[in-house]
Amino acid sequence: MIARVENLTVKYDDFTAVSELNLSIEEGDIYGFIGPNGAGKTTTIRVMATLLLPFAGKVTIAGMDVERYPEKVKPLVGYMPDFFGVYDNLKVWEYLDFFARVYGMEPAGIPSKINEALEITKLEGKREAYVDFLSRGMKQRLCLAKTLIHDPKLLILDEPASGLDPNARVEIRELLRTLSREGKTIFISSHILSELADICNRVGIIEVGKLVSEGTMDQITKQLQPGRLLKVRARDIEAAARFAAASRIVLSSEMKEGCLLLRIEDTDGVAERLIKTLVDSGAGILSVSEEKPGLESLFQKLTRGTVS
């Protein structure tokens, strides 16, 4: 286990931003940390990045307490804040060179490491450009390059795609996949679940400073919506609904936009039996398809949209 958050509580004077939070991140994970604005994501991340001291509980990275051994934890972590700027009057390679030296890298190995980081982030062409003249997307990639420069074990990225256009978002997602393939552990936060759903293997959902759900995407979906959801279109939708209810294998049913949504148990043969019943009913079944729950509706269901 590369990182562990145990009963973390953070207070700003009388206000509790994070309350008894527990998380664990395995090596090689892409862990999505999701929650609405103000839920406590950035506060948790700042504690992990040694920028904030916990009020109670502890955070360990590679087995080391971040509060007691910040100097040992810092080289293991690559931190990218949600809002960041760049220094004036500095070229791209000088910017990366500065961070490489600050992290205590061997001077001889720095140029090759800079080239590598620029190549991964596709900034090779901007090597000699001044950082304050880069576009927003490029600055974002540069910050990621800076985060990678000292080869950290754990990348902590606080909303890395915020404020970017759709193309740049796709690029960042691709970049994260590449890094994951190279064996990096990534802890990434976002307030948009769909943004992370297809790249994360584990997800933690936080609301009002508390973790409301944690696991793989499938586990979270099943936890919220047990069984399968079938969408039925028919000529006589009322009759189809009556027959479905009479079959006693439907857990719940609802009409939505002229279609019938039927929830059934996720066991072998149940769906086939229901379809056979409906077809035999003579309600004129046009189509039956499985409906996957919308990620946003799932997220709203979990978080209720409240903030701490």
Partner 1 sequence: MNALLKKEIRTRMRGKTIFAIENVYLVLLTGIFLIVLAISSAGRESFAWETGRSLFETVNYVQILLLVIASPTIVASAFTLEREQKTLDMLLATPLSLVQIARTKLLASLSVFFVLVLVSLPMLSVCFILGGVSPSEIFWAYFLTLEGILLAGAIGLCYSALLKRTLAAVPISSLTIIVFLIATLLIAKLLSPALGTLNPLYAFHLMTSRWTTKFFAFETPFWVPSLVLTSLLFLCVFSYTVEILNEEKRRTSSQPRALRLLFYCAMLLFLLSSTIEYGPRSADIAAGLERFVWVSYLFCVAQAIVVSGGSLSGFERKKLLSSWKEKCLRLKGWLGPGLCVGPRYSLLIAFMSVVIFSFGAFQVDMVKRRMLSILLVGCLFVTGTLTCAMLARFFSLVRRTKGNSLPRILASFCFLIVLVAPHLITYVHRRGKTEIPETAWDLSVFFSPLIALGYAVEPTRTPASYPYCAKLLGSVPFSVVTSLLYFSLLIVLWALNLRWERKIRLSTEQI
Contact positions toward partner 1, by CB under 8 A? 10-13, 46, 49-53, 71, 74-75, 77, 79, 81, 83-90, 94, 98-99, 101-104, 143, 146
Residue with Cβ nearer partner 1 (49 or 250): 49
Residue with Cβ nearer partner 1 (90 or 168): 90
Nearest residue to 78 via CA among 8, 171, 27, 143: 143
Residue with Cβ nearer partner 1 (149 or 211): 149
Q: Smallest distance from the beta carbon of 270 to partner 1, in angstroms?
A: 52
Kind of pairing, strands 30-34 and 202-207?
parallel
Alpha helices in 81-123 (DSSP H): 92-102, 110-120
Three-state DSSP at 265 gives coil
Q: Smallest distance from the beta carbon of 33 to partner 1, in angstroms?
A: 17
Residue with Cβ nearer partner 1 (102 or 251): 102
Question: Which residues are paired to 111 by β-bridges?
Answer: none
Three-state DSSP at 49 gives coil
Q: Smallest distance from the beta carbon of 192 to partner 1, in angstroms?
A: 22
Q: How far apart are alpha carbons 58 and 15 in whole angstroms? A: 19
Q: How far apart are alpha carbons 254 and 231 in whole angstroms? A: 10
Q: Smallest distance from the beta carbon of 114 to partner 1, in angstroms?
A: 14
Q: Smallest distance from the beta carbon of 42 to partner 1, in angstroms?
A: 10
Residue with Cβ nearer partner 1 (143 or 302): 143
Q: Which two tokens stand for residue 28?
A: 């090689």
